[in-house]
Structure 1
Amino acid sequence: MFLTDGEFSEIKAFRRELHRNPEVSGEEAQTALRLKEELCLTGPDRIVADIGGHGLAAVYEGAASGRTIMIRAELDGLPIDEISDVTHRSTVPGKGHLCGHDGHMAILMALAKGLGQRRPARGRAILMFQPAEENGAGAAAVLADPKFAALTPDMSLSLHNFPGVRLGHVLLKAGPVNCASRGMKIVLKGKTSHASYPEQGIAPTFAMARLLDGLTTLGNNGSLGPDYSLVTVTHARLGEPAFGISPGEAQIWATLRTLTDEAMTALVSRAEELVLTQAKAGQLQVEISYEDVFHQCYNSAEAVAQLRQALDDEGVSHDDASSLLPMKASEDFGVFRTVAPAAMFFLGAGEDHPRLHNPDYDFPDELIAIGSRVFMRAIRNLLG
C-alpha cells in the first residue's frame, strides 16, 4: 500500500465532500476549484486549469526523460435527485453523483498524494480531471484545447466502477468496450389551423407516426458485433396541449447506438434519409441536430497489457468479461485513443449494488484503495 490508512481515510472524507456537492456537465467550476486546492497540497510540478472547460490536469515530472502517462477521471454529476439515506447524500436538489465520478476523482487524489511523496523516476505522470463526460462533450473539448498539446500522453488509462460485478473484481479486455451513441433531435414544421379545418393547415401528425415506427426499425438490437445498431425514441411532442388547434410542429428525440464509429456513420445516413423522405412527403420543413455525441470506446492492446500486469502485480482478480463486454452504454474516454494507446478497466462495485444512474447509487469507498493501487503500479511499471 503506497498510502497509510490515515491518508486513505482523509481521501474517503474528501470523496464524501464531493458527493454532497455535485455539479453537472459544463458547470463543474466549484468542483475544479476544490480539487485544485487539494492538489496544490501534494506539490505537483504544474497544474493546468480550465482545460476543455473546467478541466484540470496535475503534472508530476520524473528526474529523467521518458514517456508521459495520463490517468483520467471525470468531474461531473447527473441531473437526478438522490434518494439515498447516506449521511453524505447530495445537498443540491435535482443533482447527484450517481455514476461514481466522485469516487473516480478520489482515486486520482490518492495518486496525487502518492506521486507528491515519490515522483516517477522518468517521464511524466499526468492526472486529468475531465469535465462533461455525461453529455459526451468533455474529452473532445480537452483534446481541442490548445493547452492539451503540451500534455499529450504516450498512453492514457482510466477506470469505471461497475455495479453487478463482485466488489473489487476487474473486467478488462482489448478491443471495443463501449458503444458509440448520439442523440438525434428532429423538428418537423408545417402550419397550424383551426381543429375544425385541419385541411387548411399542414400537420406533421402522419409523418411523425411513420417516423416513430421507422426510426425504431432501423436498428437490429442484435448481438454486439460490428453490425450492431439500436434506435431508441426517448421523447416525442406533437403540437400544443389544446383541443382547438391542428398541430403545426412536432419533435422527436431518438438515441442512435452502434458498436463502432463506422457503423454509426452508416446509421446516421439512413436515419437522415428516412426523416427527409417523410418530411418531403408531408410537405414539411425539417431540422436535424445532434447532442450527447459519444464515439466508440476501444481498448488498445498495449495499454491493456500494462493494466493486466499491474492487476497481477497487485493481486487484483480480473477476467476478460466476454459475457459483459463490450457494453451498450457509452463513455467518452475512447476519444483519447486518437492520440495514443488507451484502455479503461471496469472495477466491480458489488453484485447487488444499486446500478449506475439509479437515484440510490453511492460509490463504494473500498474501491478507492484498489483503483489507486492498480494505477500507481502501472505508473511505476512504466516510469519507475
Structure 2
Amino acid sequence: MKLLDPIVANTPQIAALRRDLHAHPELCFEEIRTADLVAAKLTEWGIPIHRGLGTTGVVGIVKAGTSSRALALRADMDALPMQEFNTFAHTSQHPGKMHACGHDGHTAMLLGAAQYLAQHRNFDGTVYLVFQPAEEGGGGAREMIKDGLFEQFPVEAVFGMHNWPGMRAGTFAASPGPVMASSNEFKIVITGKGGHAAMPHNAIDPVVVACQMVQGFQTIISRNKKPIDAGVISVTMIHTGEATNVIPDHCEIQGTVRTFTIEVLDMIEQRMRDLARHTSAAFGTTCAFEFVRNYPPTINAPKEAEFARKVMASIVGEENVLVQEPTMGAEDFAYMLQAKPGCYSFIANGDGAHRDMGHGGGPCMLHNPSYDFNDELLPLGATYWVRLAEQWLAPQP
C-alpha cells in the first residue's frame, strides 16, 4: 500500500477531528458547527472558502499552476436522526442524533487531503473541495447545484466516495454504470364505506381492496418489467381500522420504489397508478395516489470510473480494486452525476473489528446504532483523493 507519508504523519490529528465530528452530529441543513469546523481548518491551511451553498455547504478552493482545468471532490457532512448505542469516549453527545453512516469519516478524509493539497500543490489547475450538507434525505447535493455550485465552480468532473462495511479493509470498489438506485415513495389512500363487520354487504371494504393492490403491485415487477432490469416495490406500511368489529371507511398504503434507470421508474409509476385506480374502481372505492421521486439513480461515467480504478490500483494494487456491486440504497451524489461526469466509489470499512468489545453489540453496518467509522481508512482515503486530483490535473506537455 503506497500511502503519502505526510498524510500518515497527520493521521492522529485528522482522527481527532473525525471523533470530534462523531461526538457532535448534526442533521440535514443543521450542520452549523460541522461547517464552522471545516471552514476553520481550511482557512488555517490557507485555503480560500465559499460558504452558504445548500444552506450550510462549504467549498474549499485549492489552485496551482496556470491551467483552467478543474475537478471537484465531494464529502457529505450530516448525521442521522437515531440514538447511538456505542459507549466509547467519542459517542454522540446529542440524544437522537448519530453519525451512523460515516459522514464524519468522509469529511475527515477530505480534510486530510485538503491539508496535503494546500501544502504541496503538485498539480496544474483547481481542486474544489465540496463539503455537502443534507445527504440523508434532504437532497443537499441538489440544493447546492440549485444555488449555483457548478456555475460558480465549473469543473470537468466530480468524484465522491462512501465507506462500505463488510468489505475487507484496504480495498476499493469502482465500476461504470448504475451503482446505487433511485429512491421514491408512494402513498395511496383508499376510501370505501364503513360498516359493521358482521354485515359486510352493507359496507365497501377498503382493506380487501388494499390487499388486492399489494398483490397486484408485485406483478409489475414479475410481468411488466424486463427480467434483466432491476426494480423493487416494497409496501412497508398499511394503516387502517380502529376496532375488530368495524369495517373501516379508508385504508392507507405506503412504501418505496427503487430502480437503476429512469425508464424502469417511469414504467413502474405509471403501472402502479393505473393498477391502483382500476382496482379501486372495480371494487366500488375511490383512491388518491401520490408518488414522490426522491433521489435519482447514481450512474458512474465510464471514463471517470476507469480513471478512479487506475488511481486506486496505483495505491493498493489491482487485486484490491474490486468490481462495485450495485446496491438498492440511494445517494444524492446522483444529482451531481446528472450535472457532471464522475464516479462514486466505495472504500472498504472492514468487518467491524476496529471497535473494542462492549461498544455496542450489533454489527458495524451503515445506519446501525452500533456503527463507527474505521479510522484506519483516513490515510488511505485521503491519499486516494490527493492522487486522484494530482493525476487528473497532471501538467500537460
Normalising to structure 2: TM-score of the pair? Answer: 0.86
Structure 1 gap ranges (5+): none
Distance 1:225 1:302, change over 3 A: farther
- Single out whichever of 361-370 and 331-340 deviates more from structure 2: 331-340
- Read off the aligned partner of 1:86 and give its amino acid letter: F
Distance 1:318 1:25, change over 3 A: farther
C-alpha separation between the residues in 2 aligned to 1:4 and 1:369? 6
C-alpha separation between the residues in 1 aligned to 2:53 and 2:195? 50
Number of residue equivalences? 379
Q: Does structure 2 conserve the Cα–Cα contact (< 8 Å) formed by 1:234 and 1:255?
A: yes
Instruction: Determine the structure 2 residue equivalent to 1:333.
Output: 333
Instruction: Determine the structure 2 residue equivalent to 1:310.
Output: 311
1:377 is the counterpart of 2:384: no
1:106 is the counterpart of 2:108: yes
Distance 1:102 1:201, change over 3 A: same
Distance 1:54 1:249, change over 3 A: farther
- Local SS of the residue matching 1:343: strand
Distance 1:365 1:224, change over 3 A: farther
**TM superposition shift of 1:253:** 1.5
Q: Does structure 2 conserve the Cα–Cα contact (< 8 Å) formed by 1:168 and 1:316?
A: no
- Read off the aligned partner of 2:77 and give its amino acid letter: L
Instruction: Determine the structure 1 residue equivalent to 2:240.
Output: 238
**TM superposition shift of 1:193:** 5.7
**TM superposition shift of 1:259:** 2.1
Q: Does structure 2 conserve the Cα–Cα contact (< 8 Å) formed by 1:172 and 1:319?
A: no
Instruction: Determine the structure 1 residue equivalent to 2:38.
Output: 35
Q: Does structure 1 conserve the Cα–Cα contact (< 8 Å) formed by 2:171 and 2:321?
A: no
- Local SS of the residue matching 1:184: strand
Instruction: Determine the structure 1 residue equivalent to 2:167.
Output: 165
Aligned 1:235-384 pairs, distance under 5 A: 235-239=237-241, 241-242=242-243, 246-281=247-282, 282-290=284-292, 293-316=294-317, 318=319, 321-322=322-323, 325-351=325-351, 354-384=364-394
Q: Does structure 1 conserve the Cα–Cα contact (< 8 Å) formed by 2:269 and 2:291?
A: no
C-alpha separation between the residues in 2 aligned to 1:83 and 1:12? 21
1:10 is the counterpart of 2:39: no
- Read off the aligned partner of 1:325 and give its amino acid letter: E
Instruction: Determine the structure 1 residue equivalent to 2:85.
Output: 83
- Local SS of the residue matching 2:316: coil
- Read off the aligned partner of 1:378 and give its amino acid letter: L
**TM superposition shift of 1:343:** 0.5
- Single out whichever of 146-155 and 263-272 deviates more from structure 2: 146-155
Instruction: Determine the structure 1 residue equivalent to 2:356.
Output: none
- Local SS of the residue matching 2:69: strand
**TM superposition shift of 1:261:** 2.0
Q: Does structure 1 conserve the Cα–Cα contact (< 8 Å) formed by 2:92 and 2:98?
A: yes
Per-residue CA distance 1:32-64 (angstroms, 9 max, x = gap): 23322222212223x222212322211112231
**TM superposition shift of 1:202:** 5.3
Distance 1:203 1:120, change over 3 A: farther
Q: Does structure 1 conserve the Cα–Cα contact (< 8 Å) formed by 2:7 and 2:112?
A: no
Structure 1 vs Structure 2: percent identity of aligned residues?
A: 31
Per-residue CA distance 1:53-80 (angstroms, 9 max, x = gap): 3222111122312321111111121222
- Read off the aligned partner of 1:27 and give its amino acid letter: E
C-alpha separation between the residues in 1 aligned to 2:154 and 2:63? 14
Per-residue CA distance 1:63-109 (angstroms, 9 max, x = gap): 31232111111112122221123221112222211111110000111
Instruction: Determine the structure 2 residue equivalent to 1:58.
Output: 60
Q: Does structure 2 conserve the Cα–Cα contact (< 8 Å) formed by 1:72 and 1:157?
A: yes
Pick the aligned partner of 2:181 from 179, 182, 189: 179
**TM superposition shift of 1:279:** 3.0
Per-residue CA distance 1:170-201 (angstroms, 9 max, x = gap): 11222221122312222334465677777676
Per-residue CA distance 1:332-368 (angstroms, 9 max, x = gap): 2222222322112211111456211121110000101
- Read off the aligned partner of 2:350 and give its amino acid letter: G
- Read off the aligned partner of 2:66 and give its amino acid letter: A
C-alpha separation between the residues in 1 aligned to 2:155 and 2:199? 64
- Read off the aligned partner of 1:118 and give its amino acid letter: H
State the Cα RMSD in Å: 2.7
Q: Does structure 1 conserve the Cα–Cα contact (< 8 Å) formed by 2:168 and 2:350?
A: yes
C-alpha separation between the residues in 1 aligned to 2:115 and 2:265? 41
Q: Does structure 2 conserve the Cα–Cα contact (< 8 Å) formed by 1:310 and 1:375?
A: no
Q: Does structure 2 conserve the Cα–Cα contact (< 8 Å) formed by 1:226 and 1:259?
A: no
**TM superposition shift of 1:21:** 1.5
Distance 1:24 1:203, change over 3 A: farther
- Single out whichever of 205-214 and 365-374 deviates more from structure 2: 205-214
**TM superposition shift of 1:237:** 0.8
Instruction: Determine the structure 1 residue equivalent to 2:214.
Output: 212
- Local SS of the residue matching 2:11: helix
- Single out whichever of 268-277 and 279-288 deviates more from structure 2: 279-288
C-alpha separation between the residues in 2 aligned to 1:272 and 1:26? 33
- Read off the aligned partner of 1:359 and give its amino acid letter: P
- Single out whichever of 191-200 and 122-131 deviates more from structure 2: 191-200
C-alpha separation between the residues in 2 aligned to 1:147 and 1:259? 25
Moved over 6 A (4+): 194-201
- Local SS of the residue matching 2:90: coil
C-alpha separation between the residues in 2 aligned to 1:53 and 1:187? 34
C-alpha separation between the residues in 2 aligned to 1:376 and 1:203? 62
C-alpha separation between the residues in 1 aligned to 2:288 and 2:237? 17
